[in-house]
Amino acid sequence: MRARYSKYILNFKQASGTSRGVLHTKETYFLQLIDGERTGVGECAVFRGLSADDRPDYEEKLKWLCDNINLNQVYLLNELAEFPSIQFGLEQALLSIQSKEKFVLFPSNFTNSKDSIQINGLIWMGDKGFMKEQIEAKIKAGFSTIKMKIGAIDFETELDLLKSIRANFSSEEITLRVDANGAFSPSEALEKLKRLSNFNIHSIEQPIKQGLVYEMAELCLKSPLPIALDEELIGAFDVTKKEKLLQTINPQFIILKPSLVGGFNGSEQWINIAKKQHIDWWITSALESNVGLNAIAQWTYTLQNKLPQGLGTGSLFTNNIESPLEVNQGCLHYNNTKKWYFKIF
């Protein structure tokens, strides 16, 4: 078997704001396996500025993988422990090359177009007018769960936006999630969570920066609304470290991005630990192209988690890979009457 990789730059349709800054492009890599007539493909979706594997030797590790692709698969995945997005790309490519259809990694009612996955509608940061416009568009498009990124503009303005949603839609009609991406300081976080709780918020993701373990634990204990760990999980490679982290913080939810936490295997390890501690969870994509999003969605469907998932990022890019993935009425569908168009290699 041979392997090769190719770098690909995804271009956002419009600049997307987070508390870390504005995104215009997203770098990713495609890994291809070749074995005679069979080929497989996976996406190594490094997230610059966020991934634990955002390192100068990233491409060097990809080259190492290609040079050593015929070594034992368990050994390869272990050697890639500090490169979770490459682990994920390899997992996908191995499933792909073994599949009857290159992009059907987990055959199910989802890939047969008989069922769909409920997802949240994502609201990017921006000025009040832009965010209000997005909210109205998501509600009109049939989303019953909306996730709003907060922490980049004035907090009072963000509260006004949430207030305007609740003035028109009850928590039974629209579920609200917010994602602070670590924007709050520990000293102000609890007061802000109290104010947010007035709007029947389902949960808040990562209210303070990752790494403040004891501050986060105290916040989870005192918070009037449920807290979901997101960035906090990044860089915890060892199972003992994962267990200790969740035991110490004891959040209400964890959010799993396979590209950032070691693919399917890494995510399932987190899920098993969380279940033991009665911590709920859901799956989110991390700005992958449709290749990675497709893999995450198919795997997510097999888990049968009834919460809305965070898989609505496929329409963000002007040059995404054409695929059967479609969003309709707040759900992600796999329309198998549509074909893949993947011409990278």
- Residues identified as active-site: 149, 257
Strand 201-205 relative to strand 117-118, pairing: unpaired
Tokens of 309: 């998932």
Q: Do the Cβ atoms of 136 and 148 come closer than 8 Å? A: no
272: Cβ contacts below 8 Å, ≥ 6 apart: none
> By C-alpha distance, which of 337, 291, 286 is closest to 309?
286
10: Cβ contacts below 8 Å, ≥ 6 apart: 25, 26, 27, 28, 287, 289, 316, 317, 319, 320
- Tell me the β-bridge partners of 257: none
Q: Do the Cβ atoms of 227 and 204 come closer than 8 Å? A: yes
DSSP 97-144: HHSSSTT-SS-STTTTTS--EEBPEEE-B--HHHHHHHHHHHHHTT-S
Q: Is 340 helix (H, G, I), strand (E, B) or coil?
A: coil
